[in-house]
Amino acid sequence: MPRFAEISIAQYNANLDLDTRRYNRLFDQMMIISDELKRRPGDHRRYLSSLYQHPNTKVRAKAAIHTLAVLPEEARKVLEEVGSLKGYSGPMDARGILRALDEGTYVPE
């Protein structure tokens, strides 16, 4: 899953640079990867769990978000761990998605 991690890190950097346009282009690229993995027999998004221990919190958070539908308990644990950290990009994503899950405004597909 190296390309998924590369995109996550590039999103992290786009956040730091406040470059919304670049972030959005990267988001689209990430969704193409996630959608392709989902379409494969048996839903291959589960393989993104190999990024749960990545040193970059954005990579861990994005991998967890994209595996919530297939590995809900494991993904939530990663999101809780990342969300408990201080920081901007990954921890903020983790806290936001956890809040949405708890409020029922986000349902993984």
- Tell me the pLDDT tens digit for each residue of 17-30: 999 999 999 999 99
Predicted model pTM: 0.93
**Fold entry, domain 2-103:** 1.25.40
Task: State the amino acid at position 85 in one-letter form.
Answer: L
**Rounded distance, CA 86 to CA 19, Å?**
22
Domain boundaries, the chain: 2-103
Average pLDDT estimate for 97-107: 97
In the predicted structure, residue 1 carries a pLDDT above the cut 80: no
Checking if the pLDDT of 4 tops 80, the result is yes
Q: Are 58 and 7 in contact (CB under 8 A)?
A: no
